[in-house]
Every structure is written in structure tokens, then in C-alpha cells.
Amino acid sequence: MILKVKNISQIGGVVKAPPSKSYSHRAVILASLAEGTSKLYDMLYSEDTLASIRVCKALGAQITQTDDCLEVVGTGGKLHNSSTEPIDLANSGTTLRLMTSVSALSDNEVILTGDDSLKTRPMGLLMDTLYSLGVQTESLNDNDKAPILIKPGYIGGEANIYGNVSSQFISSILISSPLSENGVSLYVLPEFKSRPYVNMTLDIMRKFGVKALRAYYLKHANCDKEFQSCKIDEFIVKKQPYLACDYTVEGDYSSASYLLALVAINGGKAKIMNLFRNSKQGDKVILDILQEMGVKIIRADNHVIIGSDGNLKAIDVDLSNAPDLLITVAVLAAMAEGTTNITGVAHARVKETDRIDTTCRELEKLGCKVVEREDGMSITGGVTSGVVDSHGDHRLAMAFSLIGLKHDIEITNGEVFDVSFPNFIESMAELGFELELVE
């Protein structure tokens, strides 16, 4: 389907940010591992998070959606896969990565698979690290990608992992480690990208009763020889149970970036609710980025007020800790005056698409001057009307729709926003930007 602009009225107003996708994934997984019954409030029900709910049910958690919460009767860490059939995770890379480690806690084999896009996600680094912790996995196509068979048994111990591929690999091991036989000491070798996502994982683990110790070394025996200097993070998680709790999911800065960028590009004033000042989300940096581009931002305890005259200026920005903002910032740059340099996002090449490549190619279709680099891009402001393709990437579809504020644009395969922001069209309409899907 094609996503395009239906109508634009005065941009501004009040809207609630959607619940965090990252926290929603983690909340249902931890609740499913916990002893007792948890109530999860303000959960995001998107295609990705529904994949996490589906696999947790398949491994023994009792999950019921009520009018006001998601009720989860946990397994106490005793997972059981009642079927020999592969569990379909659709397009959810987060679910695949987090649940590969967790599935080793099952008393029988688990096969995780998904759609064609999911089967392109590299998983070898996680599988190799799990092997050193006594977990046996197998890529059934022998290419270190899904479908992946995970055998029962999780001994634990010590392991090294590189931190520059996917923070979800680190979160996956941390989430599963307290239920391993011996606990885990995980050494994260440089460079440690997307660190805030791991901080989010540790934060919600604490909410469900699990404590992790953290140390930092300038040099450590676990450092590989090729590094002359080696800064290592160590995470120590002892064997311990997860405990059920009532948990409210905070708003998502990643998804809110489209609401904020809407006002920034067009001009106007809006209040975005459910965005917390003390959030551990790395994508909170979108507020600093917008301020540097000339937008006025007021941070309150539980909301953000944004004001803009629609005149944006180019900046230099390192998104190594917030790769999900790449396409939003790229579109902001395309609508700004001057040349913006985006760096630090080489790991964005292994998302739903190679986001560096697809973003550059689609901006070029709109007449934008772009220089692609291995870890980012330079974008000189200025675009024209045109047609672009989402490549099945929800973030590209949502971000590129914003160009429709000032130019005619159509996004083919535009319906994919359901992956992370099911109410995207409705939320944008609350601020005066009406989009529609047409055949």
C-alpha cells in the first residue's frame, strides 16, 4: 500500500507518545520468566511485541490481555516448548535476539524463525558467545542466521562479546543469565555501541528483582591481543529468580521522534505526553539534536514541549548510542539548511534493512545530495517531490512521510509502521498531519 499525505492543518496540540517498544519486549519476557503473576500496564501491542508475546506463550507463560493491562503468569524460569514446530517471530529482530538465549532455559529444543527479512539478520556473534556459556545452538541453514535451533541447557560462566554489533546480543545474555546454572560474568569488548539499550535492560531487570553488578576496566586479561588499550565493561549476574511485579511501560522516544520532527520541520508548538525526563532510553538524545538544529525544547518530568519556526540548521551528530534515530535525523537533515554529518551508525547496516544504504538511496530519489560512508552519511539539505520505497522498514516509512509537509511524496509499502507504532496515522493526525494508506 502507498502512504501519502491526505491533509495538513495547523500543526500543534497535545498527543501521548506511544509506549516504548524496547521496554514492552523486555517486560513481557521478564514477566514470563518470573515467579508469580505480573500486570503490565500501557503495553505496546505492535507486530514486533506481539511476536514476543507469542513466543513466551509457546514456552509456557500464561498471558491474558485484559481491558487495562497484560496479565502474565510466569514460569518461574521453567520453560517448556510443547510443540516441535518452529516458532514464527515474523519480522521481530528484537524478539529473535533476546529469545535465542532465553530459549536455552527450556527443557526441550526450540526453533526460532521468521520472515525472509528476519532470516537475513546475522546471529553468529551471539551463538558463539552462548557456546562459551554451555548453550548449544545451530543455524539450520548453516549461515549463522535463522532459523535457529536452541538445545536445552545453560551452564553459565565467563564469556567475552564484542559490543559494536548489536546491544541486543548483550541484553539477551543478561536477561537469561540469572536463570543459568552458575550465573554469568560477561565481558563486553570495545567498542560498546548502543550502551543505553543495555542500561534499559538492567533497569527493568531490577524492577523484576534481579541485581546485576557492573565493573569497568581500562585494561583486563580478557582483552584480545589486537587491542593495545582495552576498555572493558564487565557484567556479573549471579543465579537468582525473577519476581513478578506490576509494571507500567513508559513512552517511546524512538516513536516520539516522528511527532517531534513533525513540529520541528513544519513549525508550531506541541506537548508530547508520556516522555519522562529521567528515562534511560538512548533515543532521548533526539531532544538535544533538535535543540542544536534550532528547535525550542522544554523538558518536564513526564512530558516534552516543543516549539519551532520551521527553520532548521545542519549539525554534526554521533548516533552510536541511538541508531534507531538514524532515518529521522536524516530526514531532518534533508529539510535543514547546510550539510549535516551523521556518524557512528555502522551497526545500523544490520537492522530491518541496511539503513545507511536504503536511506541514502531513497533520499537521492528526491534529489537530495548525499554522501554515504561506512558508519554514516553527509546530507545537504534540499529535497523535491517523488516516490520512495520503505523496503519493508517501519522507520523509513514513518520518517519519510514527514517530507510530505513541504513536498508531494508517496511511500510504497508504507503500511509497515504497524511493526512499532500501530497508531502512527492517528497520532500524527492529532497534531494536524493527516496521512492515508491507499491501494
Taking the C-alpha atoms of residue 368 and residue 142, their distance in angstroms, rounded to an integer, is 40
Contacts of 116 (CB under 8 A, 6+ apart): none
Q: Are residues 232 and 330 in the same domain?
A: no
Q: Are residues 128 and 143 in the same domain?
A: yes
Q: Are residues 266 and 242 in the same domain?
A: no
C-alpha dist (Å) from residue 323 to 249, 320, 346, 399: 21, 6, 9, 14
Residue where a domain stops, chosen among 248, 282, 302 = 248
Q: All 3 cell numbers of residue 357? A: 544504504
Q: Are residues 157 and 211 in the same domain?
A: yes
Residue where a domain stops, chosen among 233, 248, 263 = 248
Q: Are residues 36 and 7 in the same domain?
A: no
Element (H, E) at 304: strand 303-308
Q: Are residues 231 and 291 in the same domain?
A: no
Q: CB 69: neighbour CB atoms within 10 A?
A: 17
- Asked if 355 contacts 362 with a C-beta cutoff of 8 angstroms, the reply is no
Q: Are residues 321 and 173 in the same domain?
A: no
Q: All 3 cell numbers of residue 160? A: 567475552
Contacts of 426 (CB under 8 A, 6+ apart): none
Which of these is catalytic: 324, 375, 408, 418? 324
| CATH number of the domain to which 142 belongs | 3.65.10.10
pTM value? Answer: 0.92
Q: Are residues 291 and 223 in the same domain?
A: no
Question: Which candidate, 378, 374, 373, places its Cα nearest to that of 363?
Answer: 378
CA dihedral 397, 401, 403, 409 (to 10 degrees): 90
Residue where a domain stops, chosen among 221, 248, 275 = 248
Q: What is the DSSP string of 45-96?
A: -SHHHHHHHHHHHHTT-EEEE-SS-EEEE--TT-B----SSPEE-TT-HHHH
- Total domains present in the chain: 2
The pLDDT value recorded for residue 221 is 60
The pLDDT value recorded for residue 284 is 97
Give the bridge partners for 64, in sequence order: 71
42 is catalytic: no
CA dihedral 161, 167, 169, 175 (to 10 degrees): 110
Q: Are residues 423 and 295 in the same domain?
A: yes
Q: Are residues 193 and 261 in the same domain?
A: no
pLDDT tens across the length of the chain (439 residues)? 999 999 999 999 999 999 999 999 999 999 999 999 999 999 999 999 999 999 999 999 999 999 999 999 999 999 999 899 999 999 999 999 999 999 999 999 999 999 999 999 999 999 999 999 999 999 999 999 999 999 999 999 999 999 988 999 999 999 999 999 999 999 998 888 889 999 999 999 999 999 999 988 766 666 655 544 577 899 999 999 999 999 999 999 999 999 999 999 999 999 999 999 999 999 999 999 999 999 999 999 999 999 999 999 999 999 999 999 999 999 999 999 999 999 999 999 988 889 999 999 999 999 999 999 999 999 999 999 999 999 999 999 999 999 999 999 999 999 999 999 999 999 999 999 999 999 9
Residue 90: which domain range?
21-248
The pLDDT value recorded for residue 216 is 81
Taking the C-alpha atoms of residue 187 and residue 253, their distance in angstroms, rounded to an integer, is 29
Question: Which candidate, 31, 15, 13, places its Cα nearest to that of 249?
Answer: 31
The pLDDT value recorded for residue 190 is 81
Contacts of 57 (CB under 8 A, 6+ apart): 63
Q: Are residues 123 and 45 in the same domain?
A: yes
Q: Are residues 258 and 204 in the same domain?
A: no
Contacts of 161 (CB under 8 A, 6+ apart): 125, 126, 129, 169, 170, 173, 186, 187, 188, 189
Taking the C-alpha atoms of residue 103 and residue 110, their distance in angstroms, rounded to an integer, is 6
The pLDDT value recorded for residue 200 is 97
